[in-house]
Amino acid sequence: MKPLGYLFELVCYLWDNQKQILASECKEENVVFIEEPTAQNEYIDAAVKGNKNGKFISADGVHPSRRGYFYYAMHLSDRITHSRR
């Protein structure tokens, strides 16, 4: 990872913590914090098994690739559906 990558990771972690706090304070407003997918996520597991080149991140090293966005969308859809039950 490039040196600024570590800083970027830290900023994203802190930002996610703030979003989680805000979502927990807005229960009556139907706001839900959705964590980022992990390697244990069923969609990511399926993607890894079906993805021969392992490219979930685009060439810039920051944003998801087309395949990465697809599996991230599946993760969001699943979490939103579960939060509505």
Q: What is the pLDDT of residue 50?
A: 56
Q: What is the pLDDT of residue 18?
A: 93
**pTM metric for this prediction:** 0.63
For the chain, give the percent of residues with pLDDT over 90: 8
Domains in the chain: boundaries: 1-33, 35-85
Nearest to 44 by CA among 9, 74, 64, 65: 74
Nearest to 76 by CA among 37, 39, 38, 22: 37
